Every structure is written in C-alpha cells, then in structure tokens.
C-alpha cells in the first residue's frame, strides 16, 4: 500500500514539474510576444511600450481563444480593469455559436423614455427562444447614464440601446463567453465623481451643521 502511495506521489510530482516547465515556457514566449506588440505601431495607448499590459492581454487572448493583436484593438484598461468594446462583445457572442445571430427588437416610442431594446435569439442546442432584458431610455436616465457629461446616450441613443441590450444579454445568458468582463461604455457609466469636496461644498451639503 505504501509503495502505491509513493508511486502516486512520484507521478504527481512529475506531473507538477511538467506543468511548471510548460508554464515557464509559455511565460517566456509571452514576454517575447509582448515586447513585439508593445513596440508595434498597432498597439493602442494602453499597451504602447507597456510590456506588462501586453502580457496580460496575451493571457486574456489565450483564455478567449483569439488573436492577441485583435483583442488589444478591442480592449481598454479603465481604472485598472480590462474592458471590451461593446461591438466586440457582440462578436464574441455570435462567434460562440451558442445562439443564432443576435437580433434586436425595439419597443416604445422613438425618442421617448419608453423607447427600449432587447436581444432576441434562439439557443442552438435546444431551439428555445431566448429574450434578453429590456433596456430603455428611462433606465438610462434613472441610472444617470443619460445625464453624464459627453454621454453617447444623448448623441446616438439607438446604438447605445443595442450595445447595452447585447451586454446585458451576454451577462445573463453566457457570461463565460466574455469571462464576465464589462464594456468600456458600462465602466464609463458606472464611474463616480470622486473629486475632493471643499469646505463650502460640504456646508451646502449639510446646511443643518452651519453655525454649530
């Protein structure tokens, strides 16, 4: 019995050593590839000259089974987090072949608060019709997306409805396809103003404390 345990232990050690060798070789290869990407004119600002960021995007590309250079053109690093472009999320979902191509169904009145959009598609394995969450202009206003300075919700609302409906669908029905990552637009919409507040502003926020 002890010999069997020892043999299994030796086999586990050998397997771990092989895995370590593979990991070390992959890391060396990734560093070489990252240096090429970082030096390329193809590299966006977040990756230009930044080998560490390029190694991370190579690792992410491996997990998504996609070319690192293509992924680099469709991601950004916002507040220390990788974020996809919305159109790239749509491409990943369509490429996965889990569903038929995404279709967008609009409801409500164009230009009004009830104007909304949802994804409608079919699961290939079962043929089941899948309807994603409805995203409306009222939702965009209620969550503060619409009022943000420079918001695309005011300039291209239809496109933003499509993008947000697709990302909500992906998060609800196939988060493994995008590894659960957010889009650039979502992170921008979630960003909170954290600039320091001066004494006068604090007095305005808490008028009841004045004169105490």
pLDDT digits 0-9 by tens, 41-99:
989 998 999 999 998 899 899 999 999 999 999 998 888 888 999 999 999 999 999 99
pLDDT the model gives residue 190: 73
| Side-chain-facing half-sphere of 58: CA atoms under 13 Å | 21
Q: Is 174 helix (H, G, I), strand (E, B) or coil?
A: coil
DSSP conformational letter for 101: P
Tell me the average pLDDT across 23-36: 80
Answer whether residue 6 shows pLDDT above 60: no
Task: Read off the tokens for 130.
Answer: 């899948």
Q: Are 116 and 104 in contact (CB under 8 A)?
A: no
84 or 207, which is more confident: 84
Q: Are 42 and 11 in contact (CB under 8 A)?
A: no
The stretches of 65-134 forming alpha helices (DSSP H) are 68-73, 86-96
pLDDT the model gives residue 136: 97
Q: Which of 104, 121, 105, 103 is nearest to 173 (CA)?
A: 121
Distance, CA of 26 to CA of 46 (rounded, Å):
23
Share of residues in the chain with pLDDT > 90 (%): 57
User: What are the φ/ψ torsions at residue 121 (nearest 5 degrees)?
Assistant: -155, -175
Answer whether residue 211 shows pLDDT above 60: no
Lowest-confidence segment of 79-88, 112-121, 160-169 by average pLDDT: 79-88
């Amino acid at each position: 019995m002890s010999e069997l345990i020892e043999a299994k232990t030796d086999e586990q050690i050998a397997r771990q050593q092989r895995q370590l060798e593979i990991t070390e070789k992959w890391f060396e290869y990734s560093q070489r590839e990252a240096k090429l990407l970082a030096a390329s004119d193809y590299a966006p600002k977040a990756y230009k000259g930044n080998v560490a960021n390029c190694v991370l995007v190579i690792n992410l590309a491996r997990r998504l089974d996609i070319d690192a250079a293509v992924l680099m053109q469709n991601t950004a690093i916002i507040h220390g987090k990788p974020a996809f472009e919305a159109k790239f999320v749509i491409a990943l979902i369509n490429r996965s072949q889990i569903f038929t191509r995404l279709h967008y169904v609009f409801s409500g009145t164009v230009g009004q608060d009830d104007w909304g959009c949802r994804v409608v598609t079919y699961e290939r394995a079962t043929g089941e019709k899948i309807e994603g969450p409805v995203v409306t202009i009222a939702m965009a206003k209620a969550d503060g997306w619409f009022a943000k300075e420079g918001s695309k919700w005011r300039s291209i609302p239809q496109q933003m409805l499509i993008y947000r409906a697709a990302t909500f669908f992906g998060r609800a029905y196939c988060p493994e396809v995008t590894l659960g990552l957010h889009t650039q637009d979502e992170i921008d919409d979630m960003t909170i103003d954290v600039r320091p507040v001066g004494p006068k502003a604090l007095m305005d926020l808490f008028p009841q404390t004045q004169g105490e």
